[in-house]
Amino acid sequence: MDFSKYKNDIYILIIFVFVGSQIYSQKKDTLVFKYDEQYFKTGDYYDQEKKTGEYYINEKSKYKSDAFIFLAKDRYIKFKPKEILNLKEHIRSTKFYDKKYKTINPGLFTKYFENYIVFFAKKKDTNTTIFIKVYPVPIIYN
């Protein structure tokens, strides 16, 4: 079978596969937020006494019955972030936060944080900070 007539098509396919894999394998930026017990709660959304690795933020949803949760994935000690941000200030300065109604759009919340690697920086003692890697999980109730 003679594939020479498909030579250009094969080259174009290889280029698309290579470029596509580069787009999807791009590194994500990292956001590190100070662990803020006043702004978010830990435990199960319904039962804070349960230790589930959930961190839910204390904000209202655009749809009133949603919860905004970060689930813990890993913990690190040897990590040197460039900057540690304030989660509340950061969320309230984004496009998914409606300043007029003081609510969060759940779909935009998830899309936004999926573009980043997110950590919470929690002081263990004066010399040690634990960095908790988390990912966003919007809970949408009907």
Q: Which of 58-62, 88-92, 114-118, 126-130 has the lowest mean pLDDT?
A: 58-62
pTM above 0.85, yes or no: no
Strands 54-57 and 67-76: antiparallel
Compute the distance between CA of residue 122 and CA of residue 70 in angstroms, rounded to an integer. 15
Cβ atoms 56, 67 nearer than 8 A: yes
Q: What one-letter code names the amino acid at 8?
A: N
Q: pLDDT (tens digit, 9 = 90+) per residue, 30-60?
A: 999 999 888 887 765 555 555 567 887 877 7
CA distances from 116 to 8, 14, 24, 50, 68 (A): 37, 29, 13, 28, 16
